[in-house]
Chain A
Amino acid sequence: MIANLPFIAVALLIGIALATILLKKNMIKMVMGLAMLEGAVNLFLVTLGYRENGIAPIFTNAPEGADMVLPTVQALTLTNIVIGVATTALLLVLVMVIYKKYGTVNADKMRRLKE
């Protein structure tokens, strides 16, 4: 049970994030939901690579016979964080432009395209 705690946290986070994206009307909060979804996926990846009593995967100073956590997933997480920063920045810039032009960040009022 206790070993599965991170996966339960991932599931909860994904649920909260999707609910935020789908139910909130405020665009800033939707972007926050996306960032939370990204955090959940990152947590999932890091948890995948965890080994019981594992040490950091630095090969040069490793003691004999020690277990290491998987480095690949950590590289993936790092890449995803960088991508996430770019995505969040662009999303927030777009929200700012919309706020400047429309005077609102309410998703329901963003219907100029459909008119």
Chain B
Amino acid sequence: MNVLFDNLPALLIAVPLFCAFLVPIIGRFLPQIRDAWIICASFASSLLAVITAFTVYTKGTIVYVFGAAAGSPAAPIDSGGIPFRIIFTIDGFGVFMLLSAAIVSFAVVLYLVSSQKERSGKSEFYALYLLLTAGIFGMVSTGDMFNFFVFLEINSLAGAALVSYHRRGGIAAEGALKYLIVNTVGGLMVLFSIGLLYAQYNSLNMAVIASQISLSTLNIIALVLFIAALAMKAGSVPFHFATPDAYSVAPSGITAVMIVASQAGLYGLFRILFTLYGDTFNTVTLGWVIIVLGVLSMVIGVTMAIPQKDVKRLLAYHAVSQTGYMLLGVGVALAVLGDPIAMASYGQTAMEGGLFHIINHAMYKGLLFLAVGAVIYRTGVWSLNKMGGLGHNMKWTMIFFLIGALAIAGIPPFNGFASKLMIYESVFAFNPALSIIAMVVSILTLASFMKVFHSMFMGPQLPEYAEVKEVPKLMIAGMVILTIFVIGFGLFPDLVVNNLVAPAADALINKGAYITAVFGGGL
């Protein structure tokens, strides 16, 4: 049992990968247990993530060295004090993202098992799904720059393959192609910047680079490339053009996970801004860059969403818009990083609000995509103009959609309100105009979702949808899991902020703690 707990970070990657390779074999010889196998595999990897989270919250940062004897320090003596092995560093922020990925991926697997029942090629589909999970888990837990790039590519490849899975007359391939081209260019930019850092510091280890980094021209080039590439992955404006195309054609359950996959890019962005570069650069300028990116994402995302007719495309533009809130909150914290008084009075809250919004967005946007996917599953229609009166037959789906819509618009008592309130308050102290923009965007979001809700569920029952039934129980179960978190995080925000979000924010702000954790107090 101890072996299991000692190697938690390795198992986090190994379990989904190993299960992914077994899925096609099981699908070939024992197709009747494939669904059970995939649910068990996803449950096991999510459970490992939760255990990891529990370990980190009770015992502090986990530093796991691959290929070193158990209990040996991270820096072997023969390496001259530099930890050169592949290393996993899971701190408060990593574990926070891990939890949100674990919850969404398990909820979605329940949904997919039911919604993909009639489709062909399921074994490969689930294998790719588990690879995507492994990619997300790896991105948020690795402490090695090159390892981060590898998991980023696994994430992009599996994501693009899943987006194109149901061809729908070629448009799915079109969306996936755009997504993959953007992500490949971004990935190569990340690799180029990693090369620049390696050339100067002779190490790929994040902690080693972070402890030595200075503000040379090469480092500024690397930083700009990192910001551009990871903003591409996260789908923020001005790199948002691939996001709506890919999200609107992917199978609905997959889109819910793609949200988490894009947030792993956001994780990389924050990790590089705070932990790697930290206070070496002029944080005010860079903070404003992130704030401007965030405000542009919010405004452009929501204005593009309003005229959309395709319901999933509309939701995808809202995903761009919500990413803006996270960038705004964290950008404000970055802008005041060098100012201890401002940091204590509102910077910390802004950071916590931005990070809290990440997990909230994963929950309610996942829920919205699953609910919309349920409607499409039963009706086969994407266009809002052709829907109507579905609330008569799909009561549960209607309730879940309403909860998600109220949460994304920031209506209490749902979780979107809790994080948005933190962002409004703290950003108002920083610059009132930004806060007002954020509120206007929220109102536009509410207006947009009322339109969607009305044209999907309200009105008289249409004759062509008279035969429509409620979706199967497993799909409902997937939505119930996310609903519990949407409501729970909204009712007890203090509990979540103090126990989950605050450690994540502290981990980002205290660059020194990350470095010390890896070096083990030495060096």
Contacts and interface: CB of A to CB of B under 8 A. Distances in A.
B199 A38 contact: no
A41 B170 contact: no
A41 B177 contact: no
B171 A86 contact: no
A87 B187 CA distance: 11
Contact of B171 (A79, A100, A112): A112
Contact of A113 (B195, B204, B249): B249
Q: How large is the interface on B (under 10, 10 to 19, 20 to 34, 35 or more residues)?
A: 20 to 34
A110 interface: yes
Contact of A112 (B161, B170, B195): B170
B380 interface: no
Contacts of A91: 177, 180-181, 184
Contacts of B191: 41, 45, 76, 80
B195 A90 contact: no
A68 interface: no
B245 A113 contact: yes
Contacts of B170: 97-98, 100-102, 112
The residue among B150, B177, B194 with the most chain A CB atoms within 10 A of its own CB is B177
A95 interface: yes
Given A38-B188, A41-B192, A113 B181 contact: no
A101 B173 contact: yes
Among A14, A27, A86, A110, the one with the most B-chain Cβ atoms within 10 Å of its Cβ is A110
A94 B249 contact: no
Interface in A44-71: 44-45, 48
Nearest to B194: A76
Contact of A34 (B181, B192, B204): B181
- Which range holds the interface residue count of chain A? 20 to 34
Nearest to B313: A113
Contacts of A95: 177
Given A37-B188, A91-B180, A113-B249, A83 B171 contact: no
B157 A98 contact: no
B37 interface: no
Interface string A80-93: 10010011001100
A2 B180 CA distance: 37
Contacts of A101: 167, 169-170, 173
B157 A87 contact: yes
Nearest to B183: A87
Interface of B: 84, 146, 150, 153, 156-157, 160-161, 164, 167, 169-171, 173-177, 180-181, 184-185, 187-188, 191-192, 194-195, 198-199, 204, 245, 248-249
29 contacts: A21-B181, A30-B181, A41-B195, A44-B192, A44-B195, A45-B191, A45-B195, A48-B195, A48-B199, A72-B84, A72-B198, A76-B195, A83-B150, A86-B157, A87-B153, A90-B161, A91-B177, A91-B180, A91-B181, A94-B173, A94-B176, A95-B177, A98-B173, A101-B170, A101-B173, A112-B169, A113-B171, A113-B175, A113-B248
A73 interface: yes
Contacts of A86: 153, 157
A85 to B, nearest CB: 11
A83 B147 CA distance: 12
Given A48-B195, A90-B157, A97-B170, A79 B164 contact: no
The CB with the most chain A CB atoms within 10 A, among B157, B191, B194, is that of B191
Contact of A79 (B146, B175, B181): B146
Nearest to B147: A79
B404 to A, nearest CB: 24
Contacts of A30: 181
A29 B179 CA distance: 17
A97 B188 contact: no
Given A72-B204, A76-B146, A94 B167 contact: no
Q: Which 6 A-B pairs rank lowest in CB-CB distance, beginning with the nearest?
A: A101-B170, A97-B173, A94-B177, A94-B173, A83-B153, A48-B199
Nearest to B167: A97
Contacts of A113: 171, 174-175, 245, 248-249
Contacts of A73: 195, 198
Given A83-B153, A113-B249, A37 B185 contact: yes
A14 B196 CA distance: 15
Given A110-B174, A112-B171, 18 more contacts: A21-B185, A34-B184, A72-B84, A73-B198, A76-B146, A79-B150, A80-B191, A87-B157, A87-B180, A90-B161, A94-B173, A94-B180, A97-B164, A97-B170, A98-B174, A112-B174, A113-B175, A113-B248
A30 B184 CA distance: 12
Contacts of B184: 34, 87, 91
B164 A94 contact: yes
Nearest to A45: B195
Interface in A9-50: 14, 21, 27, 30, 34, 37-38, 41, 44-45, 48
A95 to B, nearest CB: 7
B307 to A, nearest CB: 12
Contact of B198 (A37, A48, A87): A48
A67 B187 CA distance: 32
A49 to B, nearest CB: 9
A80 B190 CA distance: 12
A102 B160 CA distance: 19
B174 A90 contact: no
A101 B176 CA distance: 15
Contacts of A97: 164, 167, 170, 173
Nearest to A44: B195
Contact of A41 (B156, B157, B188): B188
